[in-house]
Amino acid sequence: MVDLNKTLLTATKLLLIFALSVTLFGVLLYPRVLAQKIVPTYYTDVQPIFEKNCVSCHVKGGIAPFVLDNPKEAVARAERIVQVTQSDYMPPYPPGKDSQPFLNERRLGVASKQILADWAKAGAPLGTAPKK
Ligand code: HEC
């Protein structure tokens, strides 16, 4: 005959072990999984932002005094890049914040600014270069 008490006890134990595993995963692993995702890298996150918003001027022969189309230049200027993007000094957009919206506004979105800031804060990691 099946001992109901024993079965219940085993079920309770199993449930406890399961709950403990879930909690352990949550406490120990999940923050790491999250942290890995949050740190932006040059190749994955930053280069596309420069490509779209900066390289039109920051290119060899362009009007800006240095290029932003290679990782070395970008990493060397990470801190300054954060300052000038947070303050909206770059990309230059003379109409300013209070102007009417125009087509093709040259403004950096909040999300892009945050990516640049997080990247610099993490020490401007390069990440993995895409295969050519
Ligand atoms: C329309 C052209 C143009 C675009 C687009 C542009 N820049 Fe610039 N940038 C310049 C010029 C010109 C200078 C030099 C004059 C100056 O500092 O104002 C400059 C200077 C800078 C400096 C040095 C500023 C200082 O005072 O130390 C940084 C850093 C910079 N740009 C970053 C960026 C980033 C990042 C982007 C894209 C998000 C960007 N720029 C987009 C034209 C541009």
Please write the tens of the pLDDT for every residue from 112-132. Answer: 999 999 999 999 999 999 887
Going from the Cα of 4 to the center of ligand 1, the distance in angstroms, rounded, reads: 75
Can you give the pLDDT at residue 33? 67
Please write the tens of the pLDDT for every residue from 70-116. Answer: 999 999 999 999 999 999 999 999 888 888 888 888 999 999 999 99
Q: Percent of the chain at pLDDT above 70?
A: 95
Give the span between the Cα atoms of 50 and 27, in whole angstroms.
36
The model's pTM is 0.78
Q: What are phi and psi of 78, to 5 degrees?
A: -50, -50
Per-residue tokens: 77: 């200027």
- From the CB of 85, is ligand 1 less than 6 Å away? yes
